[in-house]
């Protein structure tokens, strides 16, 4: 689960956690209140540093998830931006779409600036951009998540069994 928190690095109470989710029947990535077991909010690391959306992708056998070198199902949906490329000064809405090697710069994700295994900025190949809530609404449920210029206001953490993004 990928969640937002403020810059003080504290972990928010479960009732206050906002996570990246993809509503049923949509490809848009929005902020939603955390709900345990909701596949629309579950992500896993795929090959090539992609983030695969569990709720939009067909289930895979557990042993297939252990090997990072496995190729994705052709039906797997990964985190990407809606536009062909980021535009200067404009936030690019996040979406899920089929994995495409030609879009590796916007489909491979890393956590930059993480401190002691806690939080950091979620970035793709464009180092001056990070994932954040769309302006002006900010951190509210239902707001779009965008790839936009880096700010010091928000950090991300990933909850997973391995503890890594």
- pLDDT 10s digits, 71-124: 778 889 999 999 999 988 889 999 999 999 999 999 999 988 766 655 678 999
CA 115/CA 41 separation, integer angstroms: 24
CA 113/CA 155 separation, integer angstroms: 9
Residue 165 included in any domain: no
Residue 89 included in any domain: yes
Q: What angle do CA 5, 7, 11 make, to 5 degrees?
A: 40
CATH code, 89? 2.80.10.50
3-state secondary structure (DSSP) of residue 83:
coil
pLDDT score of 7 more than 60: no
CA 115/CA 32 separation, integer angstroms: 25
Residue 164 included in any domain: no
Q: What is the pLDDT of residue 94?
A: 97
Cβ 51 vs Cβ 68: under 8 Å: no
Q: What is the pLDDT of residue 16?
A: 75
Scanning the structure block, which residue is given the tokens 């949509």?
26
- How many domains in the chain? 1
CA dihedral 148, 162, 142, 86 (to 10 degrees): 20
CA 108/CA 78 separation, integer angstroms: 9
Cβ 41 vs Cβ 56: under 8 Å: no
Model pTM score: 0.81
Scanning the structure block, which residue is given the tokens 């906002």?
18
CA 79/CA 41 separation, integer angstroms: 12
Q: Is 110 exposed, middle or buried (0-12, 13-18, 19+ CB in 10 A)?
A: middle
Residue 24 included in any domain: yes
Find the domain containing 71 and state its range: 2-158
CA 142/CA 22 separation, integer angstroms: 10
For range 147-163, the mean pLDDT: 59
């Amino acid at each position: 689960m990928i969640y937002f928190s403020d810059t003080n690095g504290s972990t928010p109470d479960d009732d206050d956690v906002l996570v990246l989710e993809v509503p049923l029947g949509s490809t848009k990535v929005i902020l939603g209140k955390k709900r345990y077991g909701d596949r629309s909010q579950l992500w896993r690391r795929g090959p090539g540093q992609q983030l695969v959306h569990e709720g939009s992708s067909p289930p895979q056998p557990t042993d297939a998830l252990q090997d990072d070198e496995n190729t994705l199902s052709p039906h797997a949906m990964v985190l990407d931006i809606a536009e062909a490329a980021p535009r200067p000064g404009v936030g690019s809405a996040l979406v899920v779409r089929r994995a495409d090697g030609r879009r590796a710069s916007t489909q491979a994700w890393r956590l930059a600036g993480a401190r002691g295994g806690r939080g950091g900025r979620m970035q793709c190949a464009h180092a001056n951009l990070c994932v954040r809530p769309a302006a002006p609404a900010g951190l509210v449920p239902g707001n779009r998540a965008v790839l936009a210029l880096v700010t010091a206001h928000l950090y991300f953490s990933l909850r997973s069994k391995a503890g890594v993004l």
